[in-house]
Amino acid sequence: MPQLSAPIWIGIGVAVAVIVAVVVLATRRRGAPRVVSVTEEIPSSLKLPINTLKVGNYRILDLLSESQYAMTYRGKAADGALCIIKLPSRLCLADHDNLKRFGREGQLLELLQHPNIIKKLDAGEISDQGLKIPYLVLEYHEGKDLGDILAERAPLPVPEAVGMISQVASALDVMHAKGVVHRNLSPDAIRVSNDGQVIVHNFGVARALTMETITLHGQIVGTVEYIAPEQIYGKQIDGRADLYALGVLGYRMLTGRSPFIYASIAALVKQKNESDGPHPRESNADIPNDLDRIVSLLMSRDPARRPHPAGMLTTQLAEIGQ
């Protein structure tokens, strides 16, 4: 077999390179798949405490809310259904007590089955950066948080406000019957769906009365404007503390303002300790007398004066709505 000279080999090599380039270019023009990096870029706006958008069988879509305790995301299940994916925040991951709280939220939701209480769909752990990170998957409702509704159009019409207060009271009735106290009932813990269904959520600081308390000494757990005086001072509480918060919520729904006038947290705490909540009729004369009495009594400093149990409250509100 005759040997080929170096120039001929070079020519053959160039020809082969040209043929390969033409084939690759033609393939790309036909839309054949290209090899891409398996590392997915995560938008910084998500503020993810993990390095992946995939959580179990769910995919994170966007950030809904954040707190020192948890990051809450809108997500999508494998079947395309929307859901809420809740992850511990970076601060929570570094704190043993907060991590216990995160796990406890899922346990409590197992106990609570009610149309006005958010439903737990799934829970688990993922491995990330050498850590086992828990996650919680909850049902998703299209709508708005009560805080956004109040900011947009409070005071609400009396029938609408009565309906919302009644739905929250119905949820509290089930919770308290199971020995669970929410402890942080506020506008940000209440979702109102597009069809008017009220859903109580944000059970991160909720506690069953039989559970070990993990509140740190001297730490106020809850949103100060809404929590009861006895809760501020670290006294033993029960479901009547949630009913106090419901009274403050009702006042804001009916008047569009806070029942308290204060320039500092210290002044707010002093006011709560020294006086009962005002009558909403003083700010809105359209409020029926019976409703005015109920809301005012709910904000009583003395827990014994607050209408309870919550189930009795729903009956009284139903009579007002007739």
Buried b (16+ CB within 10 A) or exposed e, 152-161: eebbbebebb
> 32: pLDDT confidence band, cut at 50, 70 and 90?
very low
pLDDT at 5: 54
- 109 belongs to a structural domain: yes
How is the beta sheet containing 198-200 ordered, strand by strand? 143-145, 190-193, 198-200
Same domain, 94 and 218: no
- 9 belongs to a structural domain: no
Using one digit for the tens of pLDDT, what is the confidence trace for 90-129?
888 888 888 888 888 888 999 999 999 999 999 999 988 7
- 204 belongs to a structural domain: yes
Q: Which of 73, 77, 85, 82 is nearest to 47 (CA)?
A: 73
List the domain range (segments joined by +) for residue 249: 143-320
Question: The domain that contains 251 carries what CATH number?
Answer: 1.10.510.10
- 7 belongs to a structural domain: no
- 14 belongs to a structural domain: no
> What is the average per-residue pLDDT within 163-168?
98
- 219 belongs to a structural domain: yes
- 54 belongs to a structural domain: yes
**Residues across the chain:** 322
| Helix H or strand E segment including 107 | helix 96-111
Question: The domain that contains 71 carries what CATH number?
Answer: 3.30.200.20
Buried b (16+ CB within 10 A) or exposed e, 41-61: eeeeebebbbeebebbebbbe
Same domain, 304 and 174: yes
pLDDT at 200: 98
Same domain, 248 and 100: no
Count of structural domains within the chain: 2
Same domain, 83 and 56: yes
End residue of a domain, out of 139, 158, 181: 139
Using one digit for the tens of pLDDT, what is the confidence trace for 172-208?
999 999 999 999 999 999 999 999 999 999 988 776 6
Are the C-beta atoms of 255 and 284 separated by less than 8 Å? Answer: yes
> 219: pLDDT confidence band, cut at 50, 70 and 90?
very low
pLDDT at 48: 86
End residue of a domain, out of 92, 112, 139: 139
